[in-house]
């Protein structure tokens, strides 16, 4: 390699910064099994963005769903035994009750991924996953607790698969929405609050119609969105507001009538049993159902989440505009080794947020589709809902990636005070609305709006700059023979910071209030019963 070529290579390496590895180390990198799995994943959320979504393996994976199904089957069998232990009717008991030791042993069945696989092997014969899981439980109980062999039909007694899977998907949704999404949403909102606090009393131009309007503050821009998010979060609260609305569950038989239960034991209050069972799982009990719940609760929650994402999207889009040229009210900190473009060295881009916005919009579409399609089942139901819920992790996955990207990108940005000051100097007419209102208060002769319009806009339609505006204002004040006190008030309005103090104080209170409510919401989210610990 010639000295010239060596200089080029060394310059490239130097440009990456002091932490760049030696070329020999780079070129001899070996793939780990985990690297290969990641590289071969066909879905970016499980590959490139894996670090933000890996937790979903414990929430929406076949393993998580399979273990939760075993959990519901176990708990139903135990609950039925508890009921039958005190049954004094004329019919034969399908089960007779369990000892504490038997309950303990039953709760060890169906708690490992290996057992989920065993049920999948059986599914190859049943062609029905819940039937296979139920049969596995029966065989396992009969094998490991042989004294219960005559009672194993109690595992899935009088139930249809939806009596199991409806509750499974309710628990999965509780975990995903409240214990995962809600916590991440609140973390993002707390980041927004901290971002505002970091930059203090920052006055910014506010735009309407993408034109200079009036001054505002960073706190006010963020508080607007957080207040809207707060309203939407409150729509997810249960009646009375003491906690979040759990997802729905049911125990209602093949078409929602509990016919098999009542036919076998007409002298048992099965509605009471079903309510206690479903609510004991931590779900919202729907008594009036078809084969499945109505999904009105689910539709409301998913659409509300979509509305929350709208606010995050708007805030993200508006922040990009704060950073765009030529304004550049915020700039992205230059990082050693970073390239803002593969060809344009003079650029820096907020591509993490750009991608995040599309991710959030995609999830919005998927969640709205989910809300509509879940409710749109034919007759008393079919299996379409099963696919929709099994794929729910894919619907939410972009959200978790996007939230992390927004935090990371915004953290790298800081205000550009010079550019902010230049903008206010270039567009002093932003004080015009307040000035003409003050003149109307004083009852001046003539049209105050037209007077300020003449000062703010030049004859050719361009905006008056600071010098032009000042000259026009002085002339107008002289022509109107304004008293000294009124002149002083008008001149004070030229200071953008003076104009925004009341709004900023309100914003600060709103942000402080949100932080308090955020802690309360996190507590509520953690109180929701999600997936069982065995998962």
Give the mean model confidence (pLDDT) for residues 359-373.
98
Long-range contact pairs involving 125-134 (C-beta distance under 8 Å, separation at least 24): 128/161, 129/69, 130/69, 130/161, 130/164, 130/165, 131/161, 133/66, 133/69, 133/70, 133/73, 133/164, 134/73, 134/164
Q: How far is CA 453 from CA 459, 466, 498, in A?
A: 10, 15, 21
Q: Which of 16-20, 172-176, 404-408 has the lowest mean pLDDT?
A: 16-20
What is the separation, in whole angstroms, between the first and last Cα of the chain?
A: 58
Alpha-carbon distance of 28 to 37, in angstroms, equals 19
At 273 the pLDDT is: 98
Q: Is residue 249 a contact partner of residue 173, using CB atoms and an 8 Å limit?
A: no
State the pTM of this model: 0.94
Q: What is the DSSP letter of 181?
A: I
Domain covering 62-157 in this structure, CATH number: 1.10.275
Give the mean model confidence (pLDDT) for residues 278-305.
97
At 240 the pLDDT is: 80
Q: Is residue 129 a contact partner of residue 123, using CB atoms and an 8 Å limit?
A: yes
Q: What is the pLDDT of residues 136-156, one digit of tens each?
A: 999 999 999 999 999 999 999
Using the predicted structure, report yes or no on whether residue 5 has a pLDDT greater than 80: no
Q: Which of 27-41, 186-200, 455-469 has the lowest mean pLDDT?
A: 27-41
- pLDDT confidence band for 534 (50 / 70 / 90): very low
Using the predicted structure, report yes or no on whether residue 4 has a pLDDT greater than 80: no
At 340 the pLDDT is: 80
Specify which of 17-21, 342-346, 397-401 reaches the highest per-range mean pLDDT.
Answer: 397-401
Q: Return the domain boundaries, the chain.
A: 62-157, 165-206+217-333+346-416
Give the mean model confidence (pLDDT) for residues 161-169.
97
Using the predicted structure, report yes or no on whether residue 535 has a pLDDT greater than 60: no
Q: Which of 41-45, 130-134, 207-211, 380-384 has the lowest mean pLDDT?
A: 41-45
At 7 the pLDDT is: 86
Alpha-carbon distance of 164 to 168, in angstroms, equals 6
Q: Is residue 182 a contact partner of residue 245, using CB atoms and an 8 Å limit?
A: no
Give the mean model confidence (pLDDT) for residues 377-384.
93
At 37 the pLDDT is: 85
At 337 the pLDDT is: 80
At 533 the pLDDT is: 65
SS3 percent helix, strand, coil of the chain, rounded to 5, is: 65, 5, 30
Using the predicted structure, report yes or no on whether residue 182 has a pLDDT greater than 50: yes
Give the mean model confidence (pLDDT) for residues 199-223.
96
The overall average pLDDT reported for the chain is 95
Using the predicted structure, report yes or no on whether residue 1 has a pLDDT greater than 70: no
Using the predicted structure, report yes or no on whether residue 43 has a pLDDT greater than 90: no
Rounded percentage of the chain residues whose pLDDT exceeds 70: 99
Q: What is the pLDDT of residues 224-261, one digit of tens each?
A: 999 999 999 999 999 888 899 999 999 999 999 999 99
- What is the fold, at CATH topology level, of the domain defined by 165-206+217-333+346-416? Fumarase C; Chain A, domain 2 (1.20.200)
Alpha-carbon distance of 434 to 495, in angstroms, equals 12
Q: What is the pLDDT of residues 443-454, one digit of tens each?
A: 999 999 999 999
């Amino acid at each position: 390699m010639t000295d010239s070529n060596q200089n080029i290579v060394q310059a490239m390496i130097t440009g990456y910064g002091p932490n760049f590895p030696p070329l020999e180390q780079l070129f001899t990198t070996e793939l780990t099994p985990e690297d290969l799995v990641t590289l071969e994943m066909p879905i970016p959320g499980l590959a490139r963005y894996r670090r933000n979504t890996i937790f979903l393996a414990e929430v929406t994976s076949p393993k998580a769903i399979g273990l939760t199904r075993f959990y519901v089957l176990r708990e139903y069998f135990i609950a039925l035994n508890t009921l039958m232990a005190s049954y004094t009717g004329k019919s034969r008991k399908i089960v007779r009750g369990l000892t504490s030791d038997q309950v303990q042993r039953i709760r060890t069945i169906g708690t490992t991924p290996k057992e989920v696989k065993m049920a999948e092997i059986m599914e190859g014969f049943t062609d029905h996953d819940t039937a296979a899981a139920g049969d596995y439980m029966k065989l396992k109980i009969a094998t490991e607790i042989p004294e219960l062999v005559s009672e194993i039909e109690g595992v899935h007694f009088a139930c249809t698969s939806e009596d199991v899977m409806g509750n499974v998907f309710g628990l999965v949704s509780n975990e995903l929405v409240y214990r995962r999404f809600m916590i991440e949403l609140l973390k993002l909102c707390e980041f927004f609050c901290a971002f505002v606090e970091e930059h203090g009393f920052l006055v910014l131009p506010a735009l309407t119609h993408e034109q200079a309007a009036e001054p505002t503050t960073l706190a006010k821009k963020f508080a607007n969105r957080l207040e809207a998010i707060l309203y939407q979060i409150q729509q997810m609260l249960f009646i009375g507001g003491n906690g979040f609305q759990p997802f729905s569950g049911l125990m209602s038989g093949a078409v929602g009538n509990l016919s098999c239960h009542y036919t076998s034991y007409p002298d048992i209050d099965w509605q009471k049993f079903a309510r206690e069972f479903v609510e004991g799982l931590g779900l919202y009990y729907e008594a009036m159902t078809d084969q499945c719940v109505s999904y009105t609760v689910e539709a409301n929650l998913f659409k509300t989440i979509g509305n929350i994402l709208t606010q995050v999207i708007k805030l993200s889009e508006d922040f990009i505009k704060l950073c765009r040229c030529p304004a550049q009210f915020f700039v992205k900190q230059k990082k050693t080794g970073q390239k803002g473009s593969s060809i344009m060295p003079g650029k820096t881009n907020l591509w993490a947020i750009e991608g995040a916005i599309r991710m959030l919009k995609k999830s919005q579409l998927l969640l709205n589709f989910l809300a509509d399609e879940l409710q749109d089942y034919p007759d008393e139901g079919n299996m379409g809902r099963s696919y929709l819920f099994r794929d729910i992790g894919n619907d939410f996955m972009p959200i978790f990636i996007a939230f992390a990207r927004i935090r990371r990108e915004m953290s790298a940005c800081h205000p550009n005070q010079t550019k902010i000051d230049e903008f206010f100097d270039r567009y002093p007419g932003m004080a015009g609305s307040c000035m003409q209102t003050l003149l109307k208060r004083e009852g001046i002769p003539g049209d105050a709006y037209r007077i300020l319009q003449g000062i703010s806009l030049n004859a050719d339609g361009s905006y008056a700059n600071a010098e032009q505006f000042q000259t026009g204002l002085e002339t107008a004040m002289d022509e109107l023979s304004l008293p000294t006190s009124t002149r002083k008030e008008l001149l004070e309005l030229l200071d953008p910071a003076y104009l925004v103090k009341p709004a900023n104080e309100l914003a600060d209170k709103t942000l402080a209030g949100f932080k308090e409510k955020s802690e309360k919401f996190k507590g509520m989210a953690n109180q929701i019963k999600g997936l069982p610990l065995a998962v």
